[in-house]
Amino acid sequence: MISTRTPLVLRYFIWGMLIFAISTSLWGFRVLRSLELTTLSLPLPGRHLQSYRYLEEVEIPFVTIPVYGAWSDQAYFNIARDIVRRLSQIGARAVIIPLPSAFGATPQAVNTLRAIARDSIAIFGVQNPITTGFRPQITRGFHRQSHWWVEHPFYNQIKVQWGVLSAYADLGSPVVRFIPAGWRETKTGTPVTDVTLLALRKYLNLTDEVTQQAYASRIPLGPYPIALAKDRISYLRYAYRAKETSILVGTADPLSDSIRYFADWSRGNSRLESLEQLWSQHKDKIVFIDWTEIRGGQLRSSGWLYTQVFASVFKRSFVSVHQEWNVLLITTLTILLSVFSYTMRNGLTIALSFALFVASIFISSWLFDSYNVLFDPLYVLVPILLCGIVLPIVKTSGEKKLAEAAIKSLEEENRRLLELQRRSTHDPRV
């Protein structure tokens, strides 16, 4: 406890050190992990979050084939088998086939999946086990490599090319994250990568040996290296829309047990093209089968998320993560606000804290939107908030104690003078 006789300057020093210790401890132990990246999702003036018309249009060798009306896993597998067969004949580089998180391994399903796996361009995508819970669990799991375990989709009974669908973004957030490498298969401990690496290897005709060595800040993949942050996660900005997101869509007719394909409605005059012409436009492309029933615990479809991933890869526009400024900024802001609060009025201290709080959010958003620099100000906002609340109370309390001490001293001095006056009045020598 701080004594009531402690000088005000010493009180400020003690409370400033306490605020610094709390702030650095929260940062060091990532106590507020569930709130991280939330400030970048704020709809600040001048920002156009998630607005389709503000996204940069890019032309990339990646398209999706949305699948609708597949009311069962088997119907979806039949469509996937037909799509892979057609694309293999046309000359597509790779086809990513997301798998339902849980499906019945019936003999018919196994035979269909074996038929798909025989094609060299087929890549099965397993749903990310981390993103199946609530956001706090997702946030903790994403950053902990001890959680990067995934089960083989066919329990090691069928030899297939498979990877993880690890791309994830919170609803309304402009930040997309995915874990390119570092996954392990639960039974054998075999290394597993994200489907992005597998598809890029096929697209670039690279062998596995070429990408075995991951450097500190990137995974080399020919001319398209994948940037890594210090936590081994790749960050990118939700900023692109493909010139051709999809060329055609597929659907299953449960009444006739048939598969039908249509030109994507968003392509305008493509309705005048024949199906053969539409299929031929998938040549030399990476194709993602986007079934709306497979969402990985999020509202955005996996195909739309991987459009952002592949656009960032081909545009070489990954986000640069910088959190090393936190301790320096926490120290500087704590000292600055402590000195300012000691010398200025409480109202000015509160106003400055509010201004710094808002400025931190605006600056971090500006760096992210304009320069692809990710600086999450969450832990910097903690000392600003604490200084703006605690230090005015400390000052008011300290000034109150000083005023009470001064009043007490004046009362004692007044009593002493009165006593002297009383004695002088009754002194017989006067």
pLDDT digits (tens, 9 = 90+) for 346-390: 999 999 999 999 999 999 999 999 999 999 999 999 999 999 999
Task: Check pLDDT > 90 for residue 264.
Answer: no
Task: Check pLDDT > 50 for residue 1.
Answer: no
Average pLDDT, the chain: 87
Cα gap 115→124, rounded to integer Å: 13
* Helix (H/G/I), strand (E/B), else coil: 47: coil
Residue-wise pLDDT for 274-308, tens only, equals 899 999 999 999 999 998 776 544 557 889 999 99
Could you tell me how many residues make up the chain? 430
Count Cβ atoms below 10 Å from residue 353 Cβ, excluding itself. Answer: 24
Q: What is the distance, to the nearest Å, from the Cα of residue 183 to the centroid of all Cα atoms in its chain?
A: 18
Cα gap 262→97, rounded to integer Å: 19
CB 341 within 8 A of CB 287: no
pLDDT of residue 367: 95
Cα gap 203→222, rounded to integer Å: 11
Cα gap 150→131, rounded to integer Å: 12
Both structure tokens of 106: 């019936």
